[in-house]
Structure 1
């Protein structure tokens, strides 16, 4: 998924919110397309994190995560909208990370969460 386009991101948000039985979600970010911060996408995602939507989502697997602001905002949206989320598994290319695993985990743990007992797994 490319995070450079508000249309693509809003479609993904719409699909997540429109699937009330969704329990497992796998996202693969496009590492080429997220080199620069796209402010409209960041603002759109920040606005989305104030409402619920993924009511049965339990597990999220994220591939090619680099820790960029747009990716972090997308993860905050997931955290804020998933009521029964149990696990977020983040797989990345270590050499592509823009911040440490600890920094990312700390930021996610500090963000608003609909489900208080989420386990974060970084690999």
Structure 2
């Protein structure tokens, strides 16, 4: 999913919120460059009152930590009361934030599910380096 414009973001949010049986979600983010303010504002305006009631697992690929990606994660966390697991995968060679910075920021997000466990995996394609960090948020 490209977060390059608010129409794409709006469509994704609508599909997520209106899927009453949605339990597993995989999102592939695509690089979009600089922050696209309308998409960020749309994500910030989403109401968590239209929660994703059954969403239990989320897998996010190509995560870089851009503001709009973080806002999308904030929306998911605030909307999913039975969320158990979020797996986030990114390339080390294109980090905009370190894994620790992203974890620390996500710890501060409001969560509908107190039991959500985060797993971050970083892969450096050039050196073959792989790092996995599990974070259980109290």
TM-score > 0.5 by shorter chain: yes
Alignment of 1:44-63 (within 5 A): 44-48=42-46, 50-63=48-61
Does residue 91 of structure 1 match 2:114?
no
Structure 1 residue runs of 5 or longer lacking an equivalent are: none
Q: Which moved more, 1:12-21 or 1:40-49?
A: 40-49
Relative to the length of structure 1, the TM-score reads: 0.95
Superposition CA RMSD, Å: 1.0
The structure with the largest alpha-carbon Rg is 2
Relative to the length of structure 2, the TM-score reads: 0.85
C-alpha separation between the residues in 2 aligned to 1:49 and 1:75?
14
Structure 2 residue runs of 5 or longer lacking an equivalent are: 122-138
Tell me which protein shows more helix as a share of its residues: 1
TM-superposed CA distance for 1:88, in Å, is 0.4
Alignment of 1:30-109 (within 5 A): 30-31=30-31, 34-48=32-46, 50-109=48-107
Name which structure has the greater RCO, CA cutoff 8 Å, separation 6+: 1
Partner of 2:3: 3
Number of aligned residues = 121
Tell me which protein shows more strand as a share of its residues: 2
